[in-house]
Amino acid sequence: MSRDKKRAKKAVIFDCDGVLFDSKASNISYYNHLLLKFGLPPLREEDVEFIHMHTADECIKYLFKDSPFLAMALEYRWNMPLDEFIAQMKMEVGLVDLLRELKPRYYLAIATNRSNSLPEVLSYFKLTEYFDKVVSALDVKNPKPDPECIEKILEHFGLSKDDVVYIGDSKLDEETAFNARIKFIAYKNNSLKADFYANSTREIGDYIKSHF
């Protein structure tokens, strides 16, 4: 019997930033690099939450909306070397153990507003092999909180909405799960509306094994 047939017909879907990785410092460095490139002041404190959740294009349009450099910044970001920013990301403690534990029983997927950097991120941290389906902002017409990313994953595996759970850390993730009408685990953010609250990868694994 193939490995796929041994699996439960369910899927665990992860957000990337804030769930798989602590990427706040990396994202701040990335967008400050862009701003400095065009002689603009660095991020303000109120900008940080926005850049943590939205697509790169959305963030650049937000940060450069009042400058004459918007088009140039949008073009430049495709040619930026990413190694130094990826190296600043910190993989969640226990993540590999969690993925190894879940992999034999569940389909594993990513639904994220991260875009062209995602393959490099997964390769750098040697995580590519664990995920059966990855949907980034480049794979949808409408990024989160639109449910298109979740719907693509459901379609790919032939699953119903009752057969998936989404793990996220932000209001945008909460809204995505609500719009897709699927179960939601809030990660390290008890202010969100969720079916379960987890503060470690171990808590995610224990909940999924016992409730899903």
pLDDT at 160: 96
Q: How many CB atoms lie within 10 A of CB 33?
A: 16
Class of domain 24-86: mainly alpha
* pLDDT tens for the chain, residues 1 to 212: 334 444 558 999 999 999 999 999 999 999 999 999 999 999 999 999 899 889 999 999 999 998 999 999 999 999 999 999 999 999 999 999 999 999 999 999 999 999 999 999 999 999 999 999 999 999 999 999 999 999 999 999 999 999 999 999 999 999 999 999 999 999 999 999 999 999 999 999 999 999 88
Match domain 3-22+90-211 to its CATH number in 3.40.50.720, 3.30.360.10, 3.40.50.1000, 3.40.50.300. Answer: 3.40.50.1000
The helix/strand count (H/E) of the chain reads as 11, 8
CA atoms within 13 A on the CB side of 43: 22
* Whole-angstrom distance, CA of residue 122 vs CA of residue 109: 12
Sketch the domain layout of the chain as residue ranges. Answer: 3-22+90-211, 24-86
pLDDT at 8: 59
Directed axis angle between helix 148-157 and helix 171-180, to 10°? 50
